[in-house]
């Protein structure tokens, strides 16, 4: 089974060395690598990055949780006032939206 380096891209780069399937399974079980499937379809193992690199990546890729709506086009902000009907001149409407003129 082919083994790729931790920083190699299995779809482009050449494998680092070959190992038997038993040793490759032991490598994955111990946590020093994981199985990948390159474009040719044959299973391979990619070595896990060193612990310093993993710590750096995890600190750099920290996810900031956001609350609320992510796409404002799907749900626009609500209107906090009533939209007056066009041409509605009832007294109730005038009293609610227009300042009183004092003569009513």
Question: Tens of pLDDT along 10-47?
Answer: 888 889 999 999 999 999 999 999 999 888 889 999 99
Summary mean pLDDT of the chain: 77
Residue 28: the pLDDT is 92
The answer to the question of residue 39 being in a domain is: yes
The answer to the question of residue 13 being in a domain is: yes
The answer to the question of residue 23 being in a domain is: yes
The answer to the question of residue 38 being in a domain is: yes
Number of domains in the chain: 1
Residue 58: the pLDDT is 72
Q: With 0-12 CB in 10 A as exposed, 13-18 as middle and 19+ as buried, what is 58?
A: exposed
Number of other residues whose CB lies within 10 A of the CB of residue 35: 13
What's the rounded mean pLDDT across residues 72-101? 63
The answer to the question of residue 93 being in a domain is: no
The answer to the question of residue 94 being in a domain is: no
The answer to the question of residue 48 being in a domain is: yes
- The residue segments making up the domain with residue 52 are 2-58
């Amino acid at each position: 089974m082919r083994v790729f380096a931790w920083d190699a891209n299995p779809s482009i780069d050449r494998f680092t060395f070959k190992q038997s399937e038993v040793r490759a399974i032991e490598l994955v079980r111990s946590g020093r690598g994981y199985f990948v499937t390159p474009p040719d379809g044959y299973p391979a193992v990619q070595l896990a990055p060193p612990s310093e690199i993993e710590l750096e990546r995890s600190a750099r890729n920290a996810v900031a949780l956001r609350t609320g709506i992510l796409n404002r086009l799907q749900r626009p902000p609500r209107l906090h006032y009533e939209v007056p009907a066009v041409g509605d001149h009832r007294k109730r409407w005038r009293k609610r939206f227009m300042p009183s003129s004092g003569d009513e």
